[in-house]
């Protein structure tokens, strides 16, 4: 199991197509097996391997905003382990350039916050290493993360997209002066 720094906290990273990896993430978190995991991608080319089936215009809309702390639920052609049997997958292009560079090399990964269900996410790598001793195969030390709100979560299977969780990215984007 891999722990990686994200925009706000550390996240649990596994191959989203790996049943074993996703199962380990859920076990470490103590999370319900029916609750899907979000997936980080380096860019648009990695969406094909995840089976994303959103229209080009839908993807264009979000790639005009990414990279950003904005997670978007999109339809997929067939379920994969990270979708926990569902027909959608939540994806994000992270704002951290060095994380995108890693994703470019290793491919998409899950990135649910590193914490037990109901606890605060880990922002300090030393504390994370102590708390999850023996459960992590590798912790990428990116220093202390800033904390703060998680990514904004949107359901883009609806038009207009619906906010599922308010977070670090203001929605609608006009509030940021960006096109929608």
* Per-residue pLDDT reduced to its tens digit, 91-117: 999 999 999 999 999 999 999 999 998
Determine phi and psi for 50, rounding to 5 degrees: -95, -5
pLDDT band at 172 (very low <50, low <70, confident <90, very high): confident
Query: Is the pLDDT assigned to residue 174 strictly greater than 70?
Result: no
Task: Taking the CA atoms of 138, 98, 14 and 8 in sequence, report the sign of the dihedral they define.
Answer: positive
pLDDT band at 33 (very low <50, low <70, confident <90, very high): confident
48 token code pair: 């094909």
pLDDT band at 34 (very low <50, low <70, confident <90, very high): confident
Residue 77: CATH number of its domain: 3.90.870.10
Q: Are 165 and 153 in contact (CB under 8 A)?
A: yes
Looking up tokens 């290793």 gives 106
pTM metric for this prediction: 0.92
Domain that holds residue 122: 2-176
Strand partners, 39: 91, 110
CA distances to 5, 49, 147 from 13, rounded to whole Å, are 10, 17, 18
118 token code pair: 């109901």
Query: Is the pLDDT assigned to residue 180 strictly greater than 60?
Result: no
Question: Percent of the chain scored above 70 by pLDDT?
Answer: 96
Query: HSE on the CB side for 11, CA within 13 Å?
Result: 20
Give me the number of domains the chain comprises: 1
CB within 8 A of 138, min separation 6: which ones? 1, 2, 3
DSSP string, 124-168: -HHHHHHHTTTT-SEE------------EEEETTSSS-EEEE--S
């Amino acid at each position: 199991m891999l722990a990686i720094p994200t925009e706000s906290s550390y996240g649990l990273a596994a191959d989203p197509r790996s049943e074993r990896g996703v199962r380990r993430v859920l076990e470490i978190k103590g999370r319900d097996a029916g609750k899907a995991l979000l997936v980080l991608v380096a860019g648009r080319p990695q969406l094909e391997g995840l089976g994303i089936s959103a229209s080009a215009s839908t993807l264009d809309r979000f790639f005009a905003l990414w990279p950003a702390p904005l997670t978007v639920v999109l339809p997929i052609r067939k379920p994969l382990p990270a979708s926990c049997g569902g027909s959608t997958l939540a994806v994000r292009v992270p704002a951290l350039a060095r994380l995108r560079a890693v994703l470019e090399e290793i491919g998409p990964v899950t990135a649910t916050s590193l914490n037990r269900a109901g606890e605060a996410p880990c922002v300090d790598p030393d504390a994370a290493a102590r708390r999850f001793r023996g459960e992590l195969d590798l912790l990428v030390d990116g220093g202390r993360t800033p904390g703060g709100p998680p990514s904004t979560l949107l359901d883009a299977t609806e038009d207009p997209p619906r906010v599922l969780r308010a977070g670090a990215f203001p929605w609608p984007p006009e509030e940021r002066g960006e096109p929608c």
